[in-house]
Amino acid sequence: MLLGRPWVVDGGLASALQDDGFSVDGHPLWSARILATNPGAVRKVHTTFLEAGADIIITASYQASIPGFQDHLGTTQDEAERIMNTSVSLAKEAIQEYESKFTDKVRKLLVAGSIGPYGACQADGSEYTGAYMCKVTPEYLKEWHRPRMAALDSQHTNYGDDFGEAVKKCHERAVDQLIAVGLNCTPPQYVTSLLEKADTSLPSPSILPRVVYPNSGEEWVAGKGWAGRSAHWPFLNEVKKWQVLGASVIGGCCRLRPNDIRDIASVVAPISKRDI
Q: pLDDT, tens digit, for every residue of 17-36?
A: 888 888 776 677 777 788 88
Task: Mark whether 192 and 92 lie in a shared domain.
Answer: no
Task: Mark whether 173 and 128 lie in a shared domain.
Answer: no
Helix H or strand E encompassing 249 = strand 247-250
Helices (H) and strands (E) in the chain, counts: 11, 7
Give burial (CB, 10 Å; 0-12/13-18/19+) of 99: middle
Residue 38 or residue 217, greater confidence: 38
Among 129, 152, 175, the domain-final residue is 152
Q: For residue 32, which of 6, 59, 56, 8 has the smallest C-alpha distance?
A: 59
**Average pLDDT of the segment spanning 256-269:** 78
Task: Mark whether 214 and 83 lie in a shared domain.
Answer: no
Residue 201: which CATH number? 3.20.20.330
Measured CA to CA, the distance from residue 90 to residue 81 in angstroms comes to 14
Task: Mark whether 94 and 176 lie in a shared domain.
Answer: no
pLDDT of residue 12: 77
Least confident of 120-129, 153-162, 224-233, 267-276: 267-276
Task: Mark whether 29 and 98 lie in a shared domain.
Answer: yes
Residue 3 included in any domain: no
Residue 36 included in any domain: yes
Least confident of 45-49, 210-214, 215-219, 246-250: 215-219
> What is the value of pTM for the model shown?
0.52
pLDDT of residue 121: 67
Q: Please answer whether residues 233 and 214 qualify as being in contact, where contact means their C-beta atoms are separated by less than 8 angstroms.
A: no
Task: Mark whether 120 and 93 lie in a shared domain.
Answer: yes
Task: Mark whether 65 and 91 lie in a shared domain.
Answer: yes
pLDDT confidence band for 272 (50 / 70 / 90): very low
Residue 267 included in any domain: yes
Residue 195 included in any domain: yes
Please tell me the total count of domains within the chain.
2
Q: What is the pLDDT of residues 93-142, one digit of tens each?
A: 999 889 888 765 567 888 888 877 766 666 666 666 777 777 778 787 77
pLDDT confidence band for 155 (50 / 70 / 90): low
**Average pLDDT of the segment spanning 29-56:** 86
Task: Mark whether 116 and 234 lie in a shared domain.
Answer: no
pLDDT of residue 158: 58
Residue 2 included in any domain: no
CB burial string 117-134: b at 16+ within 10 A, e below:
bbbbbbbeebbeeeeeee
Residue 7 included in any domain: no
Most confident listed range (85-99, 141-155, 206-220, 226-240): 85-99
Among 98, 132, 152, the domain-final residue is 152
Task: Mark whether 148 and 180 lie in a shared domain.
Answer: no
Residue 167 included in any domain: yes
Task: Mark whether 171 and 125 lie in a shared domain.
Answer: no
- 271 has a pLDDT exceeding 60: no
Task: Mark whether 116 and 174 lie in a shared domain.
Answer: no
Task: Mark whether 192 and 248 lie in a shared domain.
Answer: yes
Range of the domain at 240: 163-275
Among 97, 124, 152, the domain-final residue is 152
Residue 18 included in any domain: yes
Mean pLDDT of the residues in the chain: 76
- 165 has a pLDDT exceeding 60: yes
